[in-house]
Amino acid sequence: MEHDKGKIKTLKNNLVLLAEDHRNNQYVLSKMLEPAGVRSVTASNGMEAVEVIKSNKSVSVALLDLKMPLMDGYQAMKEIRKIRPDIVIIAQTAYALQGDREKIIEAGFDDYLAKPITLDDLKSVINKYLPGE
Ligand SMILES: [Mg+2]
């Protein structure tokens, strides 16, 4: 993956959805994005993530934790695809086992990030999948 150490090139009018059941991780990710000028909205489970997508047309990237209560990341991804097929959906997983990437991409995610996610990781996926403005 190409690394762009500079600023995130887009997203001024877009939102990143951070879906994660651990509040600490949610907080860390949103605080990471803030200085880069990227606004985010959070969800604590898959059902909440789907609701956010339904009610918020500005979301262009969704980071979904795979293991969440009520609805897991796989199911949430499928529901989000039905509502907004154009959203970039990235899985976030603590289980970076060999073969997982294939399984995750095959399921329908655009990509995946292994935890702990760094600002460089975030910049890379955002700059890779979203066209500049
Ligand atoms: Mg989780």
Q: Mind listing the domains of the chain with CATH numbers?
A: 15-128 (3.40.50.2300)
Banded model confidence at residue 1, pLDDT cuts 50, 70, 90: very low
* Residues linked to residue 100 through DSSP beta bridges, in sequence order: none
Closest CA to 104 of 66, 47, 71: 66
Q: Please tell me the distance between residue 41's alpha carbon and the centre of ligand 1 in angstroms.
A: 17
Rounded to whole angstroms, the Cα distance separating 82 from 36 reads: 30
For residue range 5-63, what is the model confidence (pLDDT) as tens digits?
A: 455 555 566 789 999 999 999 999 999 888 877 889 999 999 999 999 999 998 999 99
Q: Give pTM, 2 decimals.
A: 0.86
- Compute, in angstroms, the gap from residue 72 CA to the centroid of ligand 1: 8
Q: Give me the pLDDT at residue 119, please.
A: 86
Q: What is the CA radius of gyration of the chain?
A: 13
The Å distance, Cα 64 to ligand 1 centre, comes to 9
Give me ligand 1 centre to Cα 132, in Å.
Answer: 31
Output the pLDDT for position 107. 95
Q: How many CB atoms lie within 10 A of CB 110?
A: 17
Ligand 1 centroid, distance to 133 Cα (angstroms)? 33
**Residues, CB within 5 angstroms of ligand 1 (ion):** 21, 65, 67
- Mean pLDDT of all residues in 71-99: 90
Q: Average per-residue pLDDT in the chain?
A: 86
Q: What is the pLDDT of residue 13?
A: 63
